[in-house]
Amino acid sequence: WLPKAHVEAPIAGSMVLAAVLLKLGGYGIIRMTPTNISTALIYPTIAMATWGIIMTGLTCLRKTDLKALIAYSSVGHMGLVASATLIQTPWSTSGAVTLMVAHGLTSSMLFCLANMLYERTSTRMLIAMRGMQKAMPLMTSYWLIASLTNLALPPTINLIGEIQIMTTLFNWSPLTIMMTATGAAITAIYSLQMFMTSQQGHLTKDSKEVYPTQTRELLIMILHALPILLLTLDSELIN
């Protein structure tokens, strides 16, 4: 239901759902999961969560709807959080909280950027948005920041959370590294593909008359990018 809710909701609903409501769910899992949870429940749940990371990543590779692509990306990242919360070690909980905060800012920023393109092109199809770097070069820089943080480029806060979770899962079971590493590679591929498709290339006929970036839009982007930068410089701010 999550991708459908993201796609059908207005931009404010998508941003709040990705940045706040999903993270409240993760927080609830951390607080409500019993400490003596049965291994019969842990094994299938973590297996489904890690397998979901790969499945959602492969789905993102073939998505042409920009908003749906970002929504499925959120599902994949929450698979990492769900698997980390079941390990129930201080390192895994710290990684889950770090990734939730980082992804909340990143996904909200991506949804906002997608809506800015939709307002100018009246479409969410990636192929119809190509060449936006020529029309809005300043907005392209924010697209680059959001795409690189989404794929957990070093030394962003997203990487810190993912490394903590992947390390914890590997210590719990070395087999999980195959799933998490594959999922991380697929995330990098579709994040770069999303950026290249929407920003590079020749402008379409309908996109040659798009209006430039507005001050309110730049302010929203700064309010997303600044916390990501501050958390990257000092991840202890989360704790």
Backbone phi, then psi, for 36, in 5-degree steps?
-105, 45
In this structure, the number of other CB atoms found within 10 A of the CB of residue 222 comes to: 12
Tell me the three state secondary structure of residue 197.
helix
Reported as type and span, the H/E element at residue 86 is helix 66-87
Higher-scoring residue by pLDDT: 95, 40: 95
Calculate mean pLDDT across residues 118-135: 84
97/114 Cα distance (integer angstroms) = 26
pTM, two decimals, is: 0.91
CA distances from 52 to 14, 72, 125, 198, 234 (A): 21, 10, 24, 26, 31
- Written as six digits, the tokens of 2 are 């999550």
Higher-scoring residue by pLDDT: 100, 204: 100
Residue 238 predicted with pLDDT over 70: no
116/139 Cα distance (integer angstroms) = 9
The DSSP call for residue 21 is: I
199/195 Cα distance (integer angstroms) = 6
- Written as six digits, the tokens of 3 are 């991708």
Tell me the three state secondary structure of residue 37.
coil
Among 57-66, 201-210, 222-231, the minimum mean pLDDT is found in 201-210
Residue 239 predicted with pLDDT over 80: no
Calculate mean pLDDT across residues 141-158: 91
The DSSP call for residue 20 is: I
- Give the start-to-end residue ranges of the domains of the chain: 1-233
Among 32-36, 83-87, 194-198, the minimum mean pLDDT is found in 32-36
Q: What is the mean pLDDT of the chain?
A: 87
- Cα dihedral angle (104, 21, 191, 50), rounded to 10 degrees? 110
Question: Percentage of the chain with pLDDT > 70?
Answer: 95
94/71 Cα distance (integer angstroms) = 24
Reported as type and span, the H/E element at residue 191 is helix 176-199
